[in-house]
Amino acid sequence: MPDSVTRRRRADERRRQILDAARARADAEGWAAVTTRHLADSIGYSQPVLYGHFPGGKAEIMRAVALEGFTELAELCHAAVGRRTGRSAVEAAAMAYLDFAAEHPALYEAMFQLPIDARFARDDAEAELRAGFSALADVIGDDGDGTATEVLWGALHGMSLLERAGRLRDGQRRERVADLAARFCP
């Protein structure tokens, strides 16, 4: 194997280790506990090595983790929808979204609540953001300006935050999702 290919593979592996360590630490203790020093120690490299991969430090790492999260969320929504259409598709995507938010609170926080310098709601948005948005737009057939998708997204985001805070009745998610889907697919 040529040296450049070996170097690239090792660099990719280190990058992956950094992102995995950041995500694990955030899952365990929150994003405030994620520091470049801790990450460097946890992967067995110096801070300069970490900054060599992520010159922007923690902010750039959080951004990379968040963008991966959008890809994961889009894949989960598409998989949940499968060949469903109409109200059933909206319900499947909504449940996948809410399950993702509940199962990955630190990742969800990085994606939607922390400053990650991403280009939301812009034509030049990152491909990962467009994929996440499209996963929701596709289920409601939003081929307009995206407003309907933003309303669905906003409703799901609100539901996820209210669920996490214990502000919604336990055991009523399916009913809320069915009501939401009925509003998009009467």
Alpha carbon separation from 184 to 97, 142, 159 (Å, rounded): 16, 10, 16
For residue 29, give the CATH number of its domain: 1.10.10.60
How far is Cα 37 from Cα 154, in angstroms, rounded to an integer? Answer: 36
The answer on 159 and 68 residing in a single domain is yes
For residue 83, give the CATH number of its domain: 1.10.357.10
The answer on 51 and 105 residing in a single domain is no
The answer on 74 and 42 residing in a single domain is no
The answer on 175 and 160 residing in a single domain is yes
**CB of 100 closer than 8 Å to CB of 162:** no
The answer on 50 and 15 residing in a single domain is yes
Q: What is the pLDDT of residue 1?
A: 56
Number of domains in the chain: 2
What does the pLDDT average to over 112-133?
A: 90
How far is Cα 184 from Cα 92, in angstroms, rounded to an integer? Answer: 13
122 falls in which pLDDT band (50, 70, 90)?
Answer: confident
% of the chain residues with pLDDT over 90:
88
176 falls in which pLDDT band (50, 70, 90)?
Answer: very high
- 186 pLDDT more than 80: no
**CB of 76 closer than 8 Å to CB of 96:** yes
- 124 pLDDT more than 80: yes
Give the range of the structural domain holding residue 139, as residue numbers without chain letter: 59-184
**Angle subtended by helix axes 127-140 and 147-164, to nearest 10:** 100
CB crowding 7-20: b at 16 or more within 10 Å, else e: eeeeeeebbebbbe
Q: What is the pLDDT of residues 42-89, one digit of tens each?
A: 999 999 999 999 999 999 999 999 999 999 999 999 999 999 999 999
Q: Give the pair of three-digit tokens for residue 185.
A: 């697919």
The answer on 164 and 110 residing in a single domain is yes
Q: What is the pLDDT of residue 62?
A: 96
